[in-house]
Amino acid sequence: MTAQPATRPEGRTGARPAGAHRLGPAAAIPPGEGRAYAVAGTQVAVFRLRDGRLHALGAVCPHAGGPLADGQIDGGVLVCPLHQHVFELATGCSRTGQPPVPVYPVTVDGTGELVVEMPA
């Protein structure tokens, strides 16, 4: 299977209001896995590391549109499931020569709910 870069629509992009968005309980993400959320027209993949840390990144692989939320992670990187391109969770930079993935600040509020900060 050769990987032609897919001319992939980013998704139904509506308005992009900035600011905090609440995404439901952090516990909904199994330890060590990622889940994707539609946040005001942007697809965001949120990963919950086994040590509890959280990272939120763009959900679409810049190489060929792979679903990054289905990727495997460790303490530092995310590996795209389609062609094993590697991205740093903290910075979104690729270690295999691809363009970077956007990174969004994410925290858990008092009630255990995920809060993602979307840029202006």
Partner 1 sequence: MRQRLVVVGNGMAGARTVEEILRRGGAEQFETTVFGAEPYGNYNRILLSGVLAGAEDEAGIFLNGLPWYAENGVTLRAGIRVTSIDRAARQVRAADGSATGYDKLIIATGSRPFVPDIAGAREPRRGFHQGVFCFRTIDDTRRMVRYARDHEHVAVVGGGLLGLEAARGLQAHGLRVTVLHAAGHLMNQQLDAQAGGILRRSVEQLGIAVELNARTAAILGTDAVTGVRLTGGRDLPCDMVVIAAGVRPDVELAAASGLPVGCGVLVDDQLRAAADVYAVGECAEHRGRVYGVVAPLWEQARVLADHITGADPAAAYTGSRVATKLKVAGVDVSSMGVVAPAGDDEFVVYAEPGRGVYKSAVIRAGRLVGATLVGDVTRSAFLVQAFDRDVPLPADRIDLFFDRGDGGGAALDPAQLADDAQICNCNGVSKGTLAQAVGDGANTVTAVMERTRAGKGCGSCKSLVGEIVGWAAGGAATVDPSDSWYVPGIPLAKPELMAAIRERRLTSVSAVFAALAPDGAEDAKSKMGLASLLRMMWPNDYVDERDARFINDRVHANIQRDGTFSVVPQLKGGCTTPAELRRIADVAEKYQVPLVKLTGGQRIDLLGVRKEDLPGVWADLGLPSGHAYAKSFRTVKTCVGADFCRYGVGDSTALGIAIESRFQGLEGPAKMKLAVSGCPRNCAESYVKDVGVVAVDGGRWEIYVGGAAGAHVRQGDLLATVDSPDAVLTLTGRFLQFYRENANWLERTYAFVPRLGIERLRAVLVDDSDGMAARLDAAVAESVAAYRDPWLEGGRPATDGQFRPSLPLIDLPLVPAR
In terms of Cα–Cα distance, which of 77, 99, 72 is closest to 88?
77
Q: How far is the CB of 96 from partner 1 (least distance, A)?
A: 6
Binding part of the chain for partner 1, among 15-23, 66-74, 100-108, 110-118 by CB under 8 A, reads 66-74
Site track for partner 1 across 16-55, x = CB under 8 A:
-----------xxxxxxxxxxxx--xxx-x----x-----
Q: How far is the CB of 77 from partner 1 (least distance, A)?
A: 6
Coil, strand or helix: which one is 6?
A: coil
Residue 79 in contact with partner 1, rule: CB under 8 A: yes
| Residues whose CB falls within 8 Å of the CB of residue 79, separated by 6 or more in sequence, listed in order | 71, 72, 73, 85, 86
> What letter represents residue 9's amino acid?
P
In terms of Cα–Cα distance, which of 25, 51, 40 is closest to 104?
40
- Which of 65, 93, 113, 115 is close enough to bind partner 1 by CB under 8 A? 65
> What letter represents residue 92's amino acid?
G
Q: Which residues bind partner 1 (CB under 8 A)?
A: 1-3, 6, 8-13, 27-38, 41-43, 45, 50, 59-60, 64-75, 77-79, 81-84, 86, 96
